[in-house]
Amino acid sequence: MQERIVAAYSETSKVLDTLYKKKKRTLFLQRVMWGITGMYLIFMLALLGIQYIPMLENTSLAFLDVFKSSHTDPYASLYPIMGLMVLLYPTTIFFTRAFQKFKTTEQKTIAKMVKMLFPQVEFTQGAMAPTNEVVKSKLFPWIKEEAPVYSYGQIRGRTNDTEINITDLGIVENNVANKFLGILMRIPVLNMLGVMYQTVFKNMVTKKLADNTNYSFRGMFCWLRFKKKLNGHTVVLSKNQMTKVDRLASFNFKEEQEIHLEDPRFTSKFMVYGTDQVEARYVLSASIMEKIVALKEEFDRPISLSFQNRQMYMAVKNANGLFSFPSGKLDSMKLVEELANDIETALEISEELKL
């Protein structure tokens, strides 16, 4: 594998340098575009407000007086809005073009890397998101079949007699945080602050591109068949208080109960829910728990797994996505090693867990 990693990096190093420059330029244009949008919204609020403030003299808002409509200049309030719209139009065009060029180059480079690293797998970037599998996995408490799920590429591979599917997903769930934001959006004035935060501020300060800022989950999602026949389901989630709140608040898994296991190393990192205490202990034997802990350390990111019928599902969070490059310079072989390690670990999970 190391030889393939070196070869893949050598073949793509020049493109990676170009990609870094393209992403840097795209992020700059993104911040400018949303900065102008933010100024536009602030001016709109200010211009609405000054109509109800009779006297602005001797206040810090006195400069806004020039934008008040009057009989001598009835269009004064439109000037800043028109100016910002004139600025916003070309900036949006420049950002869209830069974004499309970056994404096209990134997709081609990722495809080349995956094919060089894993010539035995089938890799598709145009595949539809496996929404049915995501819903059936029971890993995402708020997910519904109509929820927005986006695919950034899918691998289909085989280890011994086991076929495994690996995909890079972006999911937007109507979870507790998004529900709270939705409530704010219904309250006058607060809804404008919500828009400013969600669309303007987040896109200005983030190191992510605009298509990747609002996902409740972004990362690797895998599924495969295994030998054990199960009657219910068992779900293993990385220990996190918000994850627990989302699980309970969704009311989608009323049949579940929390499973308390004896392995302290496992229970310090994971919480388990299932429909059957005995079956959960059958699935999560001492050796399987040990291997799941090792798997989490291997990925070094939050992971979740579920077991039901003859299917196993796994989700691994990755803020940048599996088939997208991270922020920062791309001049290190480490990023190719990380891509290879993530895919190789997922491909070998059936063998690793002895499913």
The tens digit of pLDDT for each residue in 244-257 reads 888 888 888 888 89
Q: State the pLDDT confidence band at 194, using cuts at 50, 70 and 90.
A: confident
pLDDT value for 235: 93
> Cβ(308)–Cβ(234) under 8 Å?
yes
What residue type is 353 in one-letter code? L
Predicted model pTM: 0.83
Q: What is the mean pLDDT of residues 238-243?
A: 86
184 — pLDDT class (breaks 50, 70, 90): confident
For residues 143 and 303, the model is more confident at: 303
Average pLDDT over residues 257-284: 90
Question: Between the CA of residue 157 and those of 19, 105, 222, 328, 342, what are the distances in Å?
Answer: 28, 25, 11, 31, 14
**DSSP states of 75-108:** TGGGHHHHHHHHHHHHHHHHHHHHHHHHHHHHHH
What confidence category does residue 220 fall into, taking pLDDT thresholds of 50, 70 and 90? Answer: very high
Structure tokens at 64: 């806004």
Buried b (16+ CB within 10 A) or exposed e, 49-88: ebeeeeeeeeeeeeebeebeeeeeeeeebeebeeebeebb
Using CA atoms, how far apart are residues 189 and 147, in angstroms rounded to an integer? 28
Q: ∠ CA 158-341-286 to the nearest 5 degrees?
A: 75
Which residue, chain included where needed, has tokens 């983030």?
A: 206
Query: Residue 243 in contact with residue 237, Cβ under 8 Å?
Result: yes
Residue 61 pLDDT grade (very low, low, confident, very high; cuts 50, 70, 90): low
The mean pLDDT value for 56-83 works out to 60
The mean pLDDT value for 29-56 works out to 73
| Confidence (pLDDT) at 222 | 94
| Rounded mean pLDDT, 22-26 | 90
Is the pLDDT at 165 greater than 90? The verdict is yes
CB atoms within 10 A of CB 255: 11
Q: What is the pLDDT, as a whole number, of residue 275?
A: 92
Sign of CA dihedral 310, 316, 317, 322: negative
Average pLDDT rounded to a whole number, residues 40-66: 60
What is the rounded distance in angstroms from the CA atom of residue 105 to the CA atom of residue 108? Answer: 5
CA angle at 104 for the pair 98 and 107, rounded to the nearest 5°: 135
pLDDT of residue 133: 92
pLDDT confidence of residue 195: 73
- Give strand ranges (E) for 82-241: 122-124, 149-159, 162-171, 217-225, 233-238
Which strand ranges, in their side-by-side order, compose the sheet holding 217-225? 122-124, 149-159, 162-171, 217-225, 311-317, 303-308, 233-238, 270-274, 257-259
pLDDT for 71 equals 64
